Amino acid sequence: MCTGIRFTGTSGSMYFGRNLDWTQGYGERVVVTPPAAEVPAAFERPGDLDSAHAHTVIGMGIVAGGVPLYFDCGNDAGLAVAGLNFPQSARYAAHACSQPGAVNVAAYEFPFWIARNFSSLDEVRRALSKTTVVAKPVSSDLPVANLHWIVADATGSIVVECLEDGLKVWENDVDVLTNEPDFGWQRTNLRNYLVLTDAEPATATWDKAQLAPFGSGMGMQGIPGDYSGPARFVKAAFVNSHYPAQESEEANVTRLFRTLGSVAVPMGAARMADGSSEITLYTSCFSAETLTYYHATYDEPGIRAYPLSACDVSGSEPFFAPAA
């Protein structure tokens, strides 16, 4: 389970983040990939940017065989991407597409490919029209993960899903993504909750009885409170859309962590079939305003900051950011 959101502050700068919910971590750390990093690609892609033009990337992940495997990341142009669990519906191509002009990307490298090569959502949209996502593992030790992705910049966000009938790009007007079912279903399901309001309900009259509300918050009667993908989608969409726009970096980072905190999973509330519990392992935030990556973990909830400006990106390989 996971939840991702995106919004802008009063200046128009984007803030992007996610909860990563799972039963165990993978040794993930904050990874920085310099533009000159020599990262092996799964397929030949002549259109990929060279080291003189590629973007610097920062985000959470692991490094395997010199390849940064980002769970979520942002780049020096203010573009961000996150992969969220999509175990039942994801259908990647079994083989690379051989048609002229086709661009093949392995699922494991998709976030890094996006962040390294593109500056804006418009560029991503154009590139995806000829892209095939292939079920190729990075190694025999790391199987292919079934994911879908939210990609965002200051102008908005999209959702990218590989479905039975091919790659689908959804325009995401609620700036939220969770897990199953597909984004189209989740977006339609919001119509079941259109009566929700942040306002205090007025006193109602039932014949002779006057029924006054107990207090604020009663306009949200009926919002789901479980930790399923549909429930988290509804709650995150409501909170994200109703949170007032903020001005400062601190206030916007607080907004992101508070919003994602409303759907964070505590231990014991979401057990798997094997008895293990899913929890929110970490929450992250990428600020396109300051190009800073923030994160907090389940056991260490204090927010740590990793400004890209504090990283030496003159090297030729991905590296773990120094501890904040």
DSSP assignments along 231-287, one per residue: HHHHHHHHHHHHSPP--SHHHHHHHHHHHHHTTPPPTTSSB-TTS-B-EEEEEEEEE
Contact 6, 18 (CB under 8 A): no
Output the pLDDT for position 249. 98
Task: Provide the percentage of residues in the chain whose pLDDT is more than 70.
Answer: 100
* Structure-token match 């965002």, residue found: 152
User: Rounded distance, CA 50 to CA 16, Å?
Assistant: 26
Q: Which residues are catalytic?
A: 2
Contact 138, 78 (CB under 8 A): no
Burial 160-182 (b: 16+ CB within 10 A, else e): bbbeeeebbbbebebbbbbbbbb
Structural domains of the chain ordered from first start: 2-184+265-320 (3.60.60.10)
DSSP class per residue in 10-65: TTS-EEEEEEEEESS----EEEEE-TT--PPPSS--TTS--TTTPPPEEEEEEEET
Distance between the two ends of the chain, CA-based, in angstroms?
Answer: 27
The Cα–Cα gap between 133 and 228 comes to 27
Taking each helix axis from N to C end, the angle separating 229-242 and 249-261, rounded to the nearest 10 degrees, works out to 150
CA 7 from chain centre, in angstroms, equals 12
Predicted pLDDT of residue 175: 98
Helix (H), strand (E) at residue 111: helix 110-117
**Which tokens sit at 267?**
């231990």
With vertex at residue 66, the alpha carbon angle to CA 65 and CA 70, rounded to the nearest 5 degrees, is: 100
Instruction: State residue 30's pLDDT score.
Output: 97
The ranges of the chain with pLDDT < 50 are: none
* pLDDT one-digit tens code per residue, 253-274: 999 999 999 999 999 999 988 9
Read off the pTM.
0.95
Q: Are 113 and 128 in contact (CB under 8 A)?
A: no
Q: How many CA atoms lie within 13 A of 273 on its CB side?
A: 0
- In tens, the pLDDT along 41-99 reads 989 998 899 888 999 999 999 999 999 999 999 999 999 999 999 999 999 999 999 99
Distance CA 119, CA 54 (A): 10
pLDDT of residue 320: 95
Query: Measuring CA to CA, which residue among 4, 3, 2, 16 is closest to residue 290?
Result: 16
Which pLDDT score is estimated for 140? 86
Picking from 274, 288, 27, the residue whose alpha carbon sits closest to that of residue 152 is: 288
